[in-house]
Chains A and B, each alone.
Chain A
Amino acid sequence: MAENVTPRVRVPKEAAAGEVITIKTLISHPMESGQRKDKEGNLIPRSIINRFTCAFNGETVIDVAMEPAISTNPYFEFQAKVPQSGTFTFTWIDDDGSTYEDSKDIAVA
């Protein structure tokens, strides 16, 4: 339903074993709260991303439940400890059931 949804993720390409790295994610999404009305006074139906997860080699890093008060284009910045080389996978789940995914590899030197 939501148009032009583009996930963006920034993860360092490499890290030392056990290093704590910073991950930044941003997804363009209108995050319609369901509280606003259009010009005719009709309620604009809620359309938000209600869940965001990040996993490293299948193991959950964070799992966020998101509510209607979150602004347009939600941005998350968090940290993760990287024990070995692997892949971060990011998943956003929309109210309409669609999922948006992205993944980034990281090499441990």
Chain B
Amino acid sequence: MRQTLRTGAARVMLGLAGSAALATGAIAQEANLVIDGEIEIVTRAPAPDHMENVSEIVSGWEYRSPETQAVQMDDFENPGMIGVDNARADFSAAMGPDGQSCAACHDNPESLEGARAVYPKWDETKGEVQTLEMQVNECVTERAGAEAWNYTGTRMTEMIALISSVSRGLPVNVAIDGPAQPTWEQGKEIYYTRYGQLELACANCHEDNYDNMIRADHLSQGQINGFPTYRLKNGKLNAVHNRFKGCVRDTRAQTFAPGSPEFVALELYVASRGNGLSVEGPSVRN
């Protein structure tokens, strides 16, 4: 009996080793993330010119297990799409004193195709760099006269997921020159600054050590082309600023607030590191 058990255990070990080898193989091969057999996603691309220390940019999808990767390849199985469906209903829901809705100006979500790919971007009237969330809230408060949505609340994150979903497959292409440049420089400064008791900068993990293990976690490049992201760890859609907050907290620092000018600058910089990858949101990660 004992003998049988041991053999069984050995088989399990072999099975695990086999699947690990497969996973490594998948990373070495050409990207093959195709959603629903229709939307082709670029998960590997040459790094944009402004990146000095990285030659190839890689989507976080490449670093996940084959099972997690498969969930994102089928919209029916992607739990993030439930949020997208909720937002689709919300898109034509009346709000504010005049009963305005997103659909009153934008007809349908598909008319916002391409928006996700170029945000955060410079807003001439406001004189600042705006994230997609800020733009949505501008519509909600100034156009519809309703109360602003919580920056990282469920309603906002699902709406961002909807706007991202119609841009999937388009290359990320945020502008870093012109009036946006000072904000981009600020974001870069934050990216390379060590924070917290552990004295870790974003770059320490996501530039110096991507593809290495940090204890049990497989470090990615920290690309944000897949946000909002459905995370298996908390079973919901996660906004990018919440992810930043989680990372900074893990360095044992006081974090910036979601929606703060620091995180907006960081979002612009990190987004620009993904220029050339496809918009993926809502993606699935662990």
Contacts and interface: CB of A to CB of B under 8 A. Distances in A.
Interface of A: 4, 6, 8, 10, 24, 26, 28, 71-73, 75
> B interface, by DSSP: helix, strand, loop or mixed?
loop
A28 B82 contact: yes
Contacts of B77: 24, 26, 75
What are the 7 A-B residue pairs with the smallest beta carbon separation, nearest first?
A: A28-B82, A10-B76, A24-B76, A73-B79, A73-B82, A72-B235, A4-B86
17 contacts: A4-B86, A6-B82, A6-B85, A8-B76, A10-B76, A24-B76, A24-B77, A26-B76, A26-B77, A26-B82, A28-B82, A28-B85, A71-B235, A72-B235, A73-B79, A73-B82, A75-B77
Nearest to A77: B77
A24 B75 CA distance: 12
Nearest to A27: B82
Interface residues of B, number: 7
A77 to B, nearest CB: 9
Interface in B71-91: 76-77, 79, 82, 85-86
B238 to A, nearest CB: 15
Contacts of B235: 71-72
Contacts of A71: 235
Contacts of A10: 76
Given A26-B77, A28-B82, 9 more contacts: A6-B85, A8-B76, A10-B76, A26-B82, A28-B85, A71-B235, A72-B235, A73-B82, A75-B77
Interface string B38-63: 00000000000000000000000000
Nearest to B235: A72
A72 B76 CA distance: 15
A73 B76 CA distance: 12
A97 to B, nearest CB: 24
A4 B89 CA distance: 10
Nearest to B236: A72
B276 to A, nearest CB: 33
A4 B154 CA distance: 14
A10 B76 CA distance: 8
Contacts of A75: 77
Contacts of B76: 8, 10, 24, 26
Nearest to A10: B76
A23 B85 CA distance: 20
Contacts of B85: 6, 28
A21 to B, nearest CB: 15
A98 B218 CA distance: 44
Contacts of B82: 6, 26, 28, 73
Nearest to B83: A28
Interface string B117-139: 00000000000000000000000
